[in-house]
Structure 1
Amino acid sequence: FLDIFPLLIIIAVLIPLMAAAKSLRRWLRSMKGLSVLLIFILVFNTLLSTYPNPLNYSIALVLRLIALMTSFSIFFLTVHPDELSQALIQMRVRFEFAFAMSMAMRYVPTLGQEAYAIMDTQRARGVELDKGSLLTRIRNIVPIIVPLIIVSIRRALSIAESMESRGFGASKNRTYMERLSFQKRDWGVCILSLIALVLVIYIRLYIPLPDWSIPF
């Protein structure tokens, strides 16, 4: 959607779900961290967009990004990697793919911690990451990205060797301690999400939306 009103409805539905997951504060912190990017998108698209109303288009892009990030935040902040892997396996997804998804989810926080450690190390060496022109800041990212890639490759090789030494994939008959099942709250979230989706599509297709045009 590129209409402001349906996007506001989606965000209004997602925020209570985030609060129910007891992750509202973490979501607010993540949105605060994205504020610079959101402002950049708003200003950049407003100035350079070829749409008839560039400010409306830019606001819609920002709202859509907020809705997307909120949806991913709800998922990653509430779903344990083991639960994701188990759910995919119960959906008849291949074990190798489910395991890869689980490992990727586990590795995201570790990657973030390593990035912060590398940034602190570079600051200790005198690299000013938060000062200078835009070009200088982009250039200063290189001393962070290169070590991060090297560390990631080494960690991946270490994990691969550990998996091979433990006989990963040797047995096709696997057993699990427990099986996942839908709870009442799971059905509630699914029903609420479906109602919100149908409502937004219905409003978008059949109800004339008010003029949200902002003169610019």
Structure 2
Amino acid sequence: LRIGADTLVNGGGLALRLVAIVLAGLLATATSDPVDIADALVQQLRVSPRFAIGVLAALRLLPLFAREWQILGMARRARGVEAGRSPIAAIRLFAGRLLSLMVGAIRRGSRMALAMEARGFGASPCRSVARPQRMRISDWGWIIGAVALAAGAVATSLALGTWRPLLG
């Protein structure tokens, strides 16, 4: 295992890409109503309603998961489980807390899927639209801006000679 300047630059570039993707997703979900996102997925992008409702359910559960993460931390502190200064113990405790959160998420998701099936969701092939979504000028402006930003990033990478496509 050799760590050189190239390796660090590549790792930093990948980390920045990941941060950019996560921040864009956070910005989109924090500023938009989850129901509007699900409606737009079905009406504008022609995604299946089943997938869109899954996205809606996930977006609605995010605040619950954040609260559950806090509760898990408080429960560990109440029991006196602390990592101290050991980074290995901190990683082990983080992994255990993450596993507990994931188990709870899977259980909650299974119960939600069962409840949706019991209510007949997905039984009808065509669904009516309660709130029609229209593309506005501002929507087109955001799309054009995002495409221009992505094109600028690619052009900068090509100009600097650092362009490394994911599949290539």
Identical counterparts, % of pairs: 30
Correspondence 1:4-83 to 2 at 5 A:
49-50=3-4, 52-53=5-6, 56-83=9-36
After TM superposition, give the deviation of residue 69 of structure 1 in Å: 2.5
Tell me if structure 2 keeps the 8 A contact 1:122–1:143: no
Q: Which has the higher contact order (CA 8 A, sep 6+)?
A: 1
Distance in 1 separating the partners of 2:118 and 2:132: 27
Q: Where does the alignment leave 5 or more consecutive residues of structure 1 unmatched?
A: 1-47, 210-216
Distance in 2 separating the partners of 1:156 and 1:201: 38
Relative to the length of structure 1, the TM-score reads 0.62
Task: Name the counterpart of 1:88.
Answer: 41
Residues matched between the structures, number: 160
Give the partner amino acid of 1:95: P
After TM superposition, give the deviation of residue 162 of structure 1 in Å: 2.0
Task: Name the counterpart of 1:157.
Answer: 110
Distance in 1 separating the partners of 2:149 and 2:104: 43
Task: Name the counterpart of 1:187.
Answer: 140
Q: Secondary structure at the match of 2:85?
A: coil
Determine which of 68, 72, 75 is the counterpart of 1:121: 75
Determine which of 110, 122, 125 is the counterpart of 1:169: 122
Q: Deviations over 1:146-174 (max 9, x none)?
A: 43233223322321232133221223342
Q: Deviations over 1:24-59 (max 9, x none)?
A: xxxxxxxxxxxxxxxxxxxxxxxx533x55554454
Distance in 2 separating the partners of 1:65 and 1:75: 16
Task: Name the counterpart of 1:144.
Answer: 97
Tell me if structure 2 keeps the 8 A contact 1:85–1:102: yes
Task: Name the counterpart of 1:101.
Answer: 55
Distance in 2 separating the partners of 1:203 and 1:135: 39
Give the partner amino acid of 1:183: R
Report which stretch shifted further, 62-71 or 101-110: 62-71
Relative to the length of structure 2, the TM-score reads 0.77
Tell me if structure 2 keeps the 8 A contact 1:85–1:101: yes
